Structure 1
Amino acid sequence: MSKKNLEKIYFKALNKVKAKSIIKDNISLEKNILTISNEKIDLNKFNNLYIFGVGKAAFSMAKECENIIGKKIKGGFIVSTSKGNLNYLKHFTSTHPDVTTKSEDAANKLIDNVKKLKKNDYFIFLLSGGASAMIEKPILGLSLEDFIKASSSLLTSGIDIKALNTIRKSISQVKGGKLADCIKSNGKVLVLSDVIGDDLNIIGSAPMNNGKFQHILVGNNEIALNEAKKFCKKDYEKVEIITTTLDYPSKKASKYVTKLIKEYDKKYSSFVLLFGGETTTVVKSGGGYGGRNQELALRLLLENIVNEDISILCAGSDGIDGRSDANGAFVTSKTIEKMNEMKLNPKEFLENSDSNTFFKKLGFDFVTGITGTNVMDFIIIEKKGK
C-alpha cells in the first residue's frame, strides 16, 4: 500500500506545477485585456501578440496558452523535447541533457524568429528547465563539437547546476541575456524554476535575463510541495516540508535524510516528510544506468532505515533520471524482501553507478515518462500509522 500512497503524494505535488495549473493560475483573457499574473495588458495598444518558449515544459505551457488566448496569437516559436504540433505556434523538438546539432538549429531558428518582432509588438516568453541544452550557439571561435565535449564532461563531473550554467553562459551566444538582446518589443517572461533558490540568473542559463524584461515565477519546488503537504495533512500525525533546497552530494544527502527520519520516528506515530532540491552524483565509468534520484534511493536502502512502516520515494519532477527510462525509485519493506529473495548486492550496483538496473530488476523503479514540467526533485518519506 505504501507504494500507492507515495505515488499519490508525488502526483499531487507534480500536478500543481504542470502547465495546466501554472498557466491557468497566471494568464487570462477577457475581450482584448490580457492578464498576466494580476497585471492587465491592453492588447489594443500593440500590433501583434507572439509567444516563444524553451524548456522541458515549453510545449505543454504553450498549448495551455493557446487554449486561453487562441486566435489572438499571431505566431511564435517553441523549443522543447516533446513531439507534436501547436495550432498557432511553430514547434521544434530539440535534445536534452546533451547538446547536439539540434540545439544549434533550435537556437538559430529562435534567434531568427525573435528578431522579427517589431517595436509595437508584445510577447510572452515561457522559460523552464532544460533550456540550457535545448538551445545553443557557441561563441565565435568555439566549434559545436568542442562545446559538446565540454558540456558532456561537466554533466558527469558532479558539478552543481549553478556552476554548470555559469560556464555554459560564458561560452554561448544565447545564454546570460544574450537572446533578449535580439528583441526590440515589450513582453514578459514566465518562469518555471528548476534550480535551488529560484535564481533567475541560473534557470535555463538565463537567455532572457538582461534587465529589459520582467520575469515572473509561476512554478517552483515550494509550490509543488505545499500542495502535497495540504493533501497529506488530514491523514498523518505530522506532515512537514523539511527543505526545498537540498543540494548535497548523494552520500551526504542520504546521511542527512536518515538522521531526520530517525528523529521523527521517535516523536510521531505517523508522518510524511517532504524534501525538495537536487542532489549531485559522480558517475563512475562502467556503463551503468541510473541518475541522482535512484542513487539516493539506493544509498537510503543501505542505511537500513526502511521497514514495514517507513517507505521512501526519490523522484525527479521531469520524468527523467540520468541514463535510464525511470524517473526515480521506491524503497519499501517489499523492495528489501525482493532484494534478499533475488540475492542482489546493492553495494555492487552503487559502485558501478548502476542504480536503475538494481531497481528495475526488483520492479521498484518509478517510471512516469516525460511529465512536461520540471521543478527539481522530490523525496517523499512516509511512516504509516498503526
Structure 2
Amino acid sequence: MTPTNPKQFLRSVYDSAVDAVSAAKCLPAFLPTPPVNGRTLVIGAGKGAAAMAKVVEDNWQGELSGLVVTRYGHGADCKRIEVVEASHPVPDEAGQAAAQRILDMVQGLSENDLVICLITGGGSSLLALPAPGITLAQKQAINKALLKSGAAISEMNCVRKHLSAIKGGRLGLACAPARVVTLLISDVPGDDAGTIASGPTLPDDTTCEQALAILNKYAIAVPANIEEHLKSDAGATPGSDDPRFARNEQHIIAIAQDALEAAAQTARAAGVTAHILSDGIEGEARDVAIVHAALAKQIHGRGQPFTRPCLVLSGGETTVTVRGSGRGGRNAEFLLSLAVALDGHPDIYALACDTDGIDGSEDNAGALYGPDSVQRAERQGIRAKNMLENNDGYGFFLALDDLIVSGPTRTNVNDFRAILIL
C-alpha cells in the first residue's frame, strides 16, 4: 500500500518509535523492591532523567528522596525528587554544582540503603565534576574539541571518564556499602551500559593510556596538567574486579532496537513493508547518507535487496566533523547529504531525527526530505552542495519549512532514520 501523504506517514512512524522508548512505558517493570529497614535515594543524569524520576515517584511505595540533573527545558513535575537543569552538550557551572551535590548526598549510606540511579544519554555533560587539579573551563574546551572532531561516543566518553571525579564508576563507589540499582536508557551503539553517560555507577575497564591515545588521534591539544594527569594514571577508574560493585545491578530498560521495531510495526499496520538495517550504525553522517542513498536507488531501480514500496529503518549514532560555520546536528547533516546524493530521484522520501527531540544543539529533532527538496531549495537560490560544505543542514531544511520541531521527548535512544521508497 502506498501512503497518500508520505511525509505525514514518516512523522507518524517517528512518533511511534519515540513513544515506545518512553520512561512511562519502559521503567515500571524494572523498579526494585523497597528496602525493609533502609532509605531509598534516587539520583541520576541525562536528558530523560527527570521523566524517569517522575515515573519512579508515580510508581514507588514508601519513602523516597533524591536529586537528578537534566538538560535545560527537559524537567518534570517531581514532588520528592529534586530536578536540577544544566547545560548540554557543553557542561556548565549548574551541572558541576549538581554533580557535587549528588556526590555529597550519597556519603554515609549504610548497607541497608538503596540507591536507584537513573541514566540516559546526555549525562556525561550534565554530570560534570572535574577531577582534582582540572578546571571546568578545561573540560569545556576538551568537550567542544571532541564534539567537533568526529570522535565516536565511546571515544568521547572514555576521555570524559578519566578527567572526572564522578564518572567511570566513581559515583558507584561513593554509594558503597549501599546497594545500587542503575536503570539506563541506551543511546550508544552496542548498548554498552558503561558507555552510557560515561557510566558513573558502573565499573570501567578503560585506561588513561587509551584516553590519551584518543586525544592524540584527533589532534586535540591539552594543557600540561591534563597530560600529566593521564600519564601519571591519576585518572584511573575502578575496574570490574572491584568487590565494592558486587551487590549492585544494572538494567537497560530501552534501546534503539525497541524504537525501530515499534516503527516497523506502525508501518506494517499501515500496509507498508518495513526492513530494519541496523540499530548501531556509526560513521560520518554524510558518508552514512551516501550508502543509504545508494541502497534506496537500488531498491527503486532494481528491486534489490527489497521490493518497493517499502520502508528502510536504521539507528545508531553518526558523527559530524565540523568544517563549516553552518547550523545543524548529525541528523540534518545526514539528510542534507542524502538530498545531494539522491538529487531529486523520484519516489524516495526520508526522515532523520534524534529520538531525544534535539538534533545537536538546535531546536529541531531533525527534518524531512522529499524528491522535490533540492529543486525547491534552488528556486530560493540555495544549493544543497554548498550548504553541506558549510555543515548547514538546519538552514537548508528551515528554508523549506521541513524541520521537525517536536520539543524535548525526555527519552533518548539516539538517531532514527526512515527512508520510504515508493
TM over 0.5: yes
Contact 1:46 1:122 in 2 (8 A): no
Q: Is residue 150 from structure 1 mapped to residue 142 from structure 2 by the alignment? A: yes
Contact 2:66 2:80 in 1 (8 A): yes
Trace 1:280-291 onto structure 2 (pairs within 5 A): 280-286=319-325, 288-291=326-329
| 1:210-244 C-alpha deviation (Å, 9 max, x unpaired) | 25121101001001111111221244453110011
Structure 1 runs (4+) greater than 6 angstroms displaced: none
Contact 1:293 1:315 in 2 (8 A): yes
User: How far is the alpha carbon of 1:305 from its aligned partner?
Assistant: 6.0
Counterpart of 1:105 in structure 2 is 97
Counterpart of 2:315 in structure 1 is 276
Structure 1: 5+ residue runs without aligned partners? 28-35
| 1:163-219 C-alpha deviation (Å, 9 max, x unpaired) | 100011111111110111111211311110000101122110010002512110100
Moved more, 185-194 or 44-53: 44-53
| 1:44-71 C-alpha deviation (Å, 9 max, x unpaired) | 633222222211110001101111115x
Change (3 A) 1:25 1:3: farther
The CA distance in 2 between the partners of 1:162 and 1:290, in whole Å, is: 22
Change (3 A) 1:44 1:318: closer
Letter in 2 for 1:199: D
Q: Is residue 166 from structure 1 mapped to residue 158 from structure 2 by the alignment? A: yes
3-state DSSP class of the match of 1:274?
Answer: strand
Moved more, 372-381 or 296-305: 296-305
Counterpart of 1:59 in structure 2 is 50
3-state DSSP class of the match of 1:279?
Answer: strand
The CA distance in 2 between the partners of 1:277 and 1:154, in whole Å, is: 18
User: How far is the alpha carbon of 1:289 from its aligned partner?
Assistant: 0.8
Moved more, 17-26 or 217-226: 17-26
Counterpart of 1:18 in structure 2 is 22
3-state DSSP class of the match of 1:217?
Answer: strand
Counterpart of 1:382 in structure 2 is 420
Q: Is residue 200 from structure 1 mapped to residue 193 from structure 2 by the alignment? A: yes
The CA distance in 2 between the partners of 1:257 and 1:20, in whole Å, is: 33
3-state DSSP class of the match of 1:353?
Answer: coil
User: How far is the alpha carbon of 1:324 from its aligned partner?
Assistant: 2.0
3-state DSSP class of the match of 2:263?
Answer: helix
Contact 1:158 1:281 in 2 (8 A): yes
| 1:344-377 C-alpha deviation (Å, 9 max, x unpaired) | 1111211211110111011011111111011010
The CA distance in 2 between the partners of 1:231 and 1:153, in whole Å, is: 39
| 1:126-163 C-alpha deviation (Å, 9 max, x unpaired) | 11100000011111111111121111111111111011
Counterpart of 2:215 in structure 1 is none
Contact 1:280 1:292 in 2 (8 A): yes
Trace 1:354-373 onto structure 2 (pairs within 5 A): 354-373=392-411
Change (3 A) 1:58 1:116: farther
Query: Percent of aligned positions with the same letter in both sequences?
Result: 28
Counterpart of 2:224 in structure 1 is none
Aligned with residue 291 of structure 2, among 237, 256, 279: 256
Contact 1:51 1:125 in 2 (8 A): yes
Change (3 A) 1:16 1:152: same
Contact 1:271 1:382 in 2 (8 A): yes
Aligned length: 369
Counterpart of 2:225 in structure 1 is none
Counterpart of 2:207 in structure 1 is none
Counterpart of 1:73 in structure 2 is 63
Contact 2:351 2:367 in 1 (8 A): yes
TM-score by length of 2: 0.84
Contact 2:46 2:122 in 1 (8 A): yes
The CA distance in 1 between the partners of 2:30 and 2:76, in whole Å, is: 24
Contact 1:316 1:376 in 2 (8 A): yes
User: How far is the alpha carbon of 1:121 from its aligned partner?
Assistant: 1.3
The CA distance in 1 between the partners of 2:138 and 2:273, in whole Å, is: 51
Counterpart of 1:31 in structure 2 is none
User: How far is the alpha carbon of 1:246 from its aligned partner?
Assistant: 0.6
The CA distance in 2 between the partners of 1:253 and 1:306, in whole Å, is: 18
The CA distance in 2 between the partners of 1:167 and 1:328, in whole Å, is: 28
User: How far is the alpha carbon of 1:264 from its aligned partner?
Assistant: 2.4
Contact 1:306 1:331 in 2 (8 A): no
Letter in 2 for 1:4: Q
Change (3 A) 1:373 1:106: same
User: How far is the alpha carbon of 1:304 from its aligned partner?
Assistant: 1.8
Aligned with residue 348 of structure 1, among 379, 386, 402: 386
Counterpart of 1:46 in structure 2 is 37
3-state DSSP class of the match of 1:333?
Answer: coil
The CA distance in 2 between the partners of 1:378 and 1:103, in whole Å, is: 28
The CA distance in 2 between the partners of 1:289 and 1:139, in whole Å, is: 32
The CA distance in 1 between the partners of 2:107 and 2:77, in whole Å, is: 23
TM-score by length of 1: 0.91
